[in-house]
Structure 1
Amino acid sequence: MWSIWVTGMVTGLGLIVAIGAQNAFVLRQGLRREHIGVVVALCIISDALLIFGGTAGIGALVSRFPAVLEILRWGGAAYLTWWGIRSLISAARPSVLEAQAPRAKGTVVLTTLALTFLNPHVYLDTVVLLGSIANQYGPDTRWIFAAGAAVGSLIWFTALGYGARALSGVLNRPRTWQIVDLLIGVVMLVLAVRLLLG
């Protein structure tokens, strides 16, 4: 049982640690020290819902309706393009970075949810792939695997968000923000192109 839980945790970590739109946003919010608790909690809860949903068999349903993933692909690509261009504009104006107004909690919540659920890869990786792997363990022990994967998500988002917040004092310089915004802008645009190219 313990080995199945650890396998789930390692597999979950392997899928979410790669840099992506959601991780870049969590990093940015941590560095800004802005609503990081809400962002981390939303990411953890969303991942857990997707992991347990995939384990319950939603992955098979998602696979049967490719049109849904196609809509998410185009919507996600549009959103990532907008976010990437916005980040590059911020990077080009470092004077603005020093005095960025805090964003409302509602805006941050909506952005977190959009970056999570408008990404078709989250359904393929978290729902279909993790759900398929979990279901190989049988009807009883699959939930142990899923719980391990959910704990991997909890560990990662907590470490990323609060780790960035802890380092924000050292990194809170206009030049650092310029680099962060530049990297985020490039990552978002690359992800948008990858989504469009399938």
Structure 2
Amino acid sequence: MLNVLFTGLFTGLALIVAIGAQNAFVLRQGIRGEHVLPIVLTCLVSDLVAITAGVAGLGAVIERWPGALPVAQVIGGIYLLAFGLHAALRAWRPTGLDAGTGSRMSGRTAVLTALALTWLNPHFYLDAIVLLGTVANSFGADRWWFLTGALLASTAWFFALGYGARLLRGLFAKPTSWRVLDGGIAVVMGALGVTLLTH
């Protein structure tokens, strides 16, 4: 059982830790110290729902109706391009952590952004539902131990990313550091958006 749990843990980490729009958003909000807990919980609940659905067999359903994925790709690609453009504008006129409250994101907007960056990304469905669901089901009755390991990976990663980012607050008190971070986020978001729209 433990070997299946650890397999789920390391497989989950391998997929979650990859640089992407969701992680970039959690990192940025963690550095700013804005709505970290709601964002982290939103990401965790999303993973819980998707991975559990995959282990329960929803991955097989998506494989039978692949037409839903291209639609998600177009919507997700457009959203990522828009998000990347917004990050590029922030990089053009960066501010430090002491910026006024007018630049802060509301809690509702933060949660909705986290949801959009998660559920409008077709790779999320492929990774969480199809891939993890397929691997988990290969363990038969022990698949729920695999699910537990994958969810532990998700929990550890998002809390570490969201709250560990505070250690970088000193560095990001300077507008130049935000210019570099937001510029990098703009490049990542833009590249992911173009990839989704062209594939």
2:56 aligned partner = 56
Q: Secondary structure at the match of 1:66?
A: coil
State how far apart, in whole Å, the 1-side matches of 2:82 and 2:168 are. 28
Q: Residue 175 in 1 paired to residue 169 in 2?
A: no
Supply the distance in 2 between the matched residues of 1:73 and 1:154 (Cα, whole angstroms).
26
Q: Is the Cα contact below 8 Å between 1:90 and 1:97 reproduced in 2?
A: no
In structure 2, C-alpha distance between the alignment counterparts of 1:133 and 1:87, rounded to whole Å: 36
Residue 43, structure 1, aligned to residue 55, structure 2 = no
| Structure 1 stretches of at least 4 aligned residues deviating more than 4 Å after TM superposition | 95-98
Offset at residue 68 of structure 1 (A): 1.2
Task: Give 1:183-198 correspondences, 5 Å limit.
Answer: 183-198=184-199
How many residues are paired up? 197
| TM-score, structure 2 normalization | 0.95
Please say which of residues 96-105 and 108-117 is displaced more in the overlay.
Answer: 96-105
**Residue 103, structure 1, aligned to residue 105, structure 2:** yes
Cross-structure match for 1:13: 13
Q: Give the gaps of 5 or more residues in structure 1.
A: none
Could you say which residue in structure 1 is the equivalent of 2:131? Answer: 129
C-alpha separation in 2, matches of 1:30 and 1:185: 17
TM-score scaled by length of structure 1: 0.95
For residues 182 and 95 of structure 1, the distance between their equivalents in structure 2, rounded to whole angstroms, comes to 13
How far off its partner does 1:169 sit?
Answer: 3.2
> Which deviates the most, 66-75 or 96-105?
96-105
| 1:44 Cα deviation after fit | 1.1
CA contact (8 A) 1:25 1:112 kept: yes
Q: How far apart are 1:95 and its partner, in Å?
A: 4.9
Supply the distance in 2 between the matched residues of 1:62 and 1:98 (Cα, whole angstroms): 46
In the alignment, the residues of structure 2 paired with residue 96 and residue 5 of structure 1 have an alpha-carbon distance, to the nearest angstrom, of: 42
